[in-house]
Chains A and B, each alone.
Chain A
Amino acid sequence: MLANKLSHNIKTISFFVTILILAIVPIIVKSPYYLDLIIVTIVYAVMAMTFIILLKTGLVSLGLAVFWGLGAYTSAILVMKLGLSFWIGLPAGAIVAGLFAFVLSPFLLKSGGITFLLLNAVLGLLFIVIIGNSTFLGMYTGINNIPEVDPIKLPFLPVIEFVSKIPYYYLGLILLIVIVLVVSAFNATKIGKAWTAIGLKPRLAESIGINVYRYRMYAFVLASAIAGLIGAFWAHYEGFIQPNGFNMWMTNYFQLYAILGGIGHGIAGPLLGAAIMKFFPEMIRFTQQLGNIITGVLLILLILFLPRGILSLFDKKRKFGEGFIFIRNWAKSSFTINRKEVKK
């Protein structure tokens, strides 16, 4: 009990310390180039978090980027065609993506596992083809000149204009914090506990009265709404979106970030994974073409020796070299996820 309380306090303290460090980043990092990398890292990490939300309930999606794109297009269209403010486009992106997931749930989730994975992949292809052929949505060339975020006018304070990277950084950071708080709040509820049970043993979960379909739908809608929210931010930050920017490769990258960081750590894992994959190639840029090969080899080694991600180094129980067994089991069971990997 005491140990529990202590670890809870440590978590709270480390959460606030992390926020404090992140809050002073723009004071230390002056270069807009590096600030841009950090903002992109935040967006990608959030997307990797949506992968883990779904994985926790035993679902693997190949269409994460679709809901990211839905949020981006929703906000861009609302702001550019209807002249609404970004501050409406942002929540609208989340709502549209969440609603879309809700409507699709009966088709995607009823038969579970592999159907969900493949139908999401199909969804990803449809998304690109439909938008690519719609003049209203800008065809394959996409939408240019998406306006910047509307200035924030608060009483007694100077107007915050989104002209440099710094306000974008803070907006992204606030969104990240809100998302982290919402996800942790959900994890602490009955819903979060049902997710854990479903991820570990769906049949046992059913036998204790958990409606597997319904709780998977909650996870799907939540993950999609989060993707939509960060997608809306992304559209206005980049100022330019095209359907191919939301293809399956992006989904694969998000999955990679989560796996690299550690899928047992729903928040820190994606952040670490995305940060490494964004900054490491920059650090070895001097190697020129060799850079991709070095990154690739390192990734393979990391996944072989640390299949539960870098953060699993700090887990209490860990077997060395379990990667080979993990890969072999994974290949054997092809698409059934190794549920051992999903900790609560």
Chain B
Amino acid sequence: MTSQNGEAVLEIKELTKEFGGVQAVNALSFKVFKNEILGIIGPNGAGKTTVINMVSGFSPSTHGNIIFENNNITKLKAHQIASLGIGRNFQSSFLFMDLTVIENVYLAFHLNYKSKIWAQLLRLPSVRQEENELKRKAEVILEEMGLSSIKNEITRNLPHGYQRMLGVCIALATQPKLLLLDEPMTGMNQNEIQIMLSLVKGIREKGITIVMIEHNMSAVLQLCDRLIVLNHGQKIAEGIPQEIISNKFVIEAYLGKE
């Protein structure tokens, strides 16, 4: 387990998001340390996905700063943030539905091309070699995630659980240093959740830091090193899972006051 004295990969300072007059996220501050799995939990509408959208550049913040590896990325666009090494998946199955599984991953290698565009236009042998290399890499990712048996299926026809896993594969193809997972286990059956648990652990073992939103508490307790609890856009608790589940405010937020 990572100690809190470690190096902060991501630092969020006083982050606020207002939609009209409503504050979806209110002066939220927290740090994410290298190679940890940080869980963000909270009731529906607590602002969890908004946080991920702000960090990944999909939704501009109203106030506050986001620091990633000592760079202020608050004002950057989504594609710039992706190229700095923050990968994300999406809550719903948000994939290239008409392509095959392997094509989905292969397309996501956009940032990995080294060869110049003129060389690609002329289809030089070095370019073909690079493409084959990337195709092989895509197969490796699918193999690690246990999807290689269905790599030539059209994504639309896949069961929901596989689509969620493919979403993570696409995010992994961008070679992220920090991976933001938005409810990776929603709608999965118990069996699929077990697979997903070991996959997320495997991703962390590769040295990738993970921030995860999840509703499934048993999964969260098994996986996460630390937890942050949000309610009405504010942080109401932060700490190791054992502390959190006995925290009075957290129980109130989930179950209501007595």
- Give the interface of A toward B (CB within 8 A): 185-186, 188-191, 193-194, 196-197, 200-201, 203-212, 340, 343-344
Contacts and interface: CB of A to CB of B under 8 A. Distances in A.
A221 to B, nearest CB: 13
Nearest to B117: A189
Contact of B117 (A190, A208, A209, A344): A190
B83 A207 contact: no
A201 B110 contact: no
The main secondary structure of chain A at its interface with chain B is: helix
Given A188-B123, A208-B108, A201 B95 contact: yes
Nearest to A206: B78
Contacts of A207: 56, 58, 78, 82, 87-88, 90, 170-171, 174
Contacts of A204: 90, 94-96, 170
B9 to A, nearest CB: 18
Given A196-B107, A197-B107, A211 B98 contact: no
B122 to A, nearest CB: 8
Contact of A193 (B57, B83, B110, B174): B110
Nearest to A185: B121
B99 interface: yes
Most buried by B among A185, A196, A206, A212: A206
B174 A208 contact: yes
A209 B94 contact: no
Interface string B171-183: 1011000000000
Contacts of B174: 207-209
Contacts of A344: 99, 103
Chain B, interface size: which category?
20 to 34
Given A204-B170, A208-B170, A208-B173, A190 B110 contact: yes
B99 A208 contact: no
Contacts of B108: 208
B94 A206 contact: no
A216 to B, nearest CB: 12
Top 9 closest A-B pairs, CB basis?
A: A209-B82, A189-B120, A206-B78, A209-B111, A208-B108, A209-B83, A190-B113, A211-B79, A185-B121
Interface of B: 56-58, 77-80, 82-83, 87-88, 90, 94-99, 103, 107-108, 110-111, 113, 117, 120-123, 170-171, 173-174
Contacts of B107: 193, 196-197, 208
A209 B98 contact: no
A71 to B, nearest CB: 22
Given A189-B121, A206-B78, A208-B110, 6 more contacts: A188-B120, A201-B96, A204-B170, A207-B171, A208-B170, A210-B79
Contacts of A185: 121-123
Contacts of A211: 77, 79-80
Nearest to B111: A209
Most buried by B among A193, A196, A200, A209: A209
A98 to B, nearest CB: 16
A287 B10 CA distance: 74
Nearest to A340: B98
A222 to B, nearest CB: 11
B110 A200 contact: no
Contacts of B113: 190
B127 to A, nearest CB: 8
Contacts of B87: 207
A200 B96 contact: yes
Nearest to B135: A1
Contacts of B96: 197, 200-201, 204
B99 A200 contact: yes
16 contacts: A185-B123, A189-B117, A190-B110, A201-B94, A205-B110, A206-B58, A206-B82, A207-B58, A207-B170, A207-B174, A208-B108, A208-B110, A208-B171, A209-B83, A209-B110, A344-B103
A191 B113 CA distance: 11
A51 B17 CA distance: 40
B101 to A, nearest CB: 14
B58 A197 contact: no
A208 B219 CA distance: 27
B109 to A, nearest CB: 8
B139 to A, nearest CB: 12
A212 B95 contact: no
A208 B85 CA distance: 10
Contacts of A208: 82, 107-108, 110-111, 170-171, 173-174
Contacts of A212: 79
A196 B103 CA distance: 11
A209 B120 contact: no
A326 to B, nearest CB: 15
A148 B122 CA distance: 34
A169 B87 CA distance: 52
Given A185-B121, A186-B121, A204-B170, A210 B110 contact: yes
A343 B98 CA distance: 8
Contacts of B78: 203, 206-207
